[in-house]
Amino acid sequence: MPALKKPDNDLAFDDQEKAEYLADSIELQCSLNPAPPDLEHVNRVENEVLRRSSLPPKDDLPSVSADEVQNSSELKPRKAPGLDGPPERSRQIFEKVLKSRLSDHLLGKGLIINEQFGFRPNHSCPQQALRLVEHISEGFKRKRKTVAVFFDVAKAFDKVWHAGLIYKLHQLQVPDRLVFIIQQYLTNRHFSFRHEKSISAKRLITAGVPQGSTLPAALLRVHERHSAPANRRPTRALRRRHRPIPER
């Protein structure tokens, strides 16, 4: 790897300097923006999360059953880098059980909008794309236009605000003990960057959710959840966007 240019225009030449510089870059990426737009709101949310964390849980969780472990043991090949072996497999099973518990609550309470296809059972992004194509084709048949807006959120996983996520989980009435486990799962996480044989000093991760399994995707879905009613019919939502094609 050639020398790396730092923000101060200095250069990192040896492997240790490169490891530290790249770790600095990742640490910045996995941290909150320095100037929140609404500091009063941020303080209110963080204080409420601290208050709820200091209270004993109001509810309990049933023990993990053998069936849950069995169902979670059928794992796909890992996507994120990491060591293989029993510890890694245990982590994957743990995350899958958590995700299953969280999804069961959200789906059971009708808290996932109909338009959400990704990371849902029996739903997929190709199905969503097919649904969009069908509505566009229907519009062509009726000589109408369909307007679509697509968003790509930059660094969506890396910028998740932990306190905001925990606050929303409480608002969604997720069982206290499950929220506590998720909070501990996200808290006090560290990383190091290895370049060749050099390893950087440990860095604290202050924002974001770890990638590589379906649990972080479920947490991101909660974090970005909007206020659209869960029982809204998706077909009606798209049909309202049809516009007549003007005659030429």
Q: What is the pLDDT of residue 248?
A: 39
pLDDT at 238 over 50: no
- The separation between the first and the last C-alpha atoms of the chain, rounded to the nearest angstrom, is 59
What does the alpha-carbon distance between residue 185 and residue 132 come to, in Å, rounded to a whole number? 36
Residue type, 208: G
Q: What is the pLDDT of residue 76?
A: 58
pLDDT at 69 over 50: yes
With bands split at pLDDT 50, 70 and 90, how would you rate the model's confidence at 1?
A: confident
pLDDT at 227 over 60: no
What does the alpha-carbon distance between residue 121 and residue 107 come to, in Å, rounded to a whole number? 10
Q: Give which of 241, 239, 224, 29 is closest to 118, Cα–Cα.
A: 224
With bands split at pLDDT 50, 70 and 90, how would you rate the model's confidence at 103?
A: confident
* Average pLDDT score over the chain: 79
pLDDT at 12 over 90: no
Average pLDDT over every residue of 65-86: 63
The percent of residues above 70 in pLDDT, for the chain, comes to 82
Whether the CB-CB separation of 32 and 207 falls below 8 Å is answered with yes
What does the alpha-carbon distance between residue 58 and residue 178 come to, in Å, rounded to a whole number? 11
Strands 189-191 and 203-205, sheet pairing: antiparallel
Strands 198-199 and 203-205, sheet pairing: unpaired
Q: What is the pLDDT of residue 241?
A: 43
Q: Which helix (H) or strand (E) holds 128?
A: helix 125-141
Q: What is the pLDDT of residue 216?
A: 84
**pLDDT: which is higher, 125 or 234:** 125
Residue position matching structure tokens 């996480």 = 189
What does the alpha-carbon distance between residue 189 and residue 186 come to, in Å, rounded to a whole number? 7
pLDDT at 101 over 80: yes
Average pLDDT over every residue of 27-33: 86
Average pLDDT over every residue of 219-242: 51
pTM over 0.95: no
Q: Tens of pLDDT along 126-173?
A: 888 888 899 899 999 998 888 888 888 788 888 899 999 999 999 988
Q: What is the pLDDT of residue 222?
A: 86
Q: What is the pLDDT of residue 236?
A: 39
At residue 242, the 3 state secondary structure works out as strand
Residue 242 bridge partners (DSSP) = 146
Residue 74 bridge partners (DSSP) = none
Average pLDDT over every residue of 36-64: 86
Q: Tens of pLDDT along 195-210?
A: 888 999 999 999 998 8
Q: What is the pLDDT of residue 84?
A: 53
